[in-house]
Structure formats: structure tokens, C-alpha cells
Amino acid sequence: MRLALEQAGGAVRGGDVPVGAVVLAADGSTVLAAAHNEREATGDPTAHAEVLAIRRAAERTGRWRLSGCTLVVTLEPCTMCAGAIVLSRLDRVVYGARDEKAGAAGSLWDVVRDRRLNHRPEVIEGVLAGECAGVLTEFFRTR
């Protein structure tokens, strides 16, 4: 989560909401990819940290199935990102702060664990939640 928080700082420098994400290999320690929100920098509404990290991990491994891998992200994924998590076959999602307004991994929706889908990753929430939420609160306070 510390690496994801470092990534979130890059989003702030680019004028975007400070969300950072890291994809870890099946060994749990090898970083396959890291990213932060780049919507403002690229003008791409899909440039969420999670989607970018998943794309980069798939590119690095040469496969779209990220079975065995873990996504670590500072904010609970939205519905778009939750869909990408399911479709990429990530084994688990670890997130920091809950997103009561748009979260899709347990708070507002629970897309990643929907029994109607063919893949349901493990979800671990609340890792460094206070620190992750604090970064977001500070960002929006200055806006």
C-alpha cells in the first residue's frame, strides 16, 4: 500500500485525484506495474489508476489473465475498475479508503463479488485506510 500511496502523489502533481495502484505478481512481492490517475493529464476518462496498472501488468506479462496477481489500490474501485478487475482474473484486491459514493467492492455496490459473474476475487479492505483517506481529503480541501 505504501507503493500505491507514492503513486497517488504523482496524480496530484498532474492535477488529478490522488489514487495510486500497484499490481503484484503471484509471489506477492514482485511489482508488475504501478500507476496513478491520469484522467486530467491524458484527457482519457478511463485513465483510472487501477485500469492503467492492469493494462501495464498485462503488457509486462504478455497475457491478459492476471491469475495469481494482486491489485493494491488506495481507494475502493469504481464500477469500471471493478469490471476490469473481474475481466483480468486478478486473484485479490486490496484497497485502503472506502468510497461510499462510487465504490464497487463492497460499499455502494459489490461488483467484484457478484455471484452472477464467472470470477470473484478476494477483497481485503481498510489497509492504511486513514492515510489513504487523508490524502484524498487534503486534495479536495484545497480544491
At residue 24's C-alpha, the angle toward residues 66 and 90, to 5°, is 30
The C-alpha atoms of residue 119 and residue 114 are separated, in whole angstroms, by 9
Name the 3-class secondary structure at 16.
coil
d(CA 133, CA 109): 19
Marked catalytic residue, from 50, 100, 125, 138: 50
Are the beta carbons of 60 and 31 closer than 8 angstroms? no
The vertex-13 CA angle with 134 and 51, nearest 5°, equals: 80
Is 59 catalytic? The answer is no
**What residues act catalytically?**
50
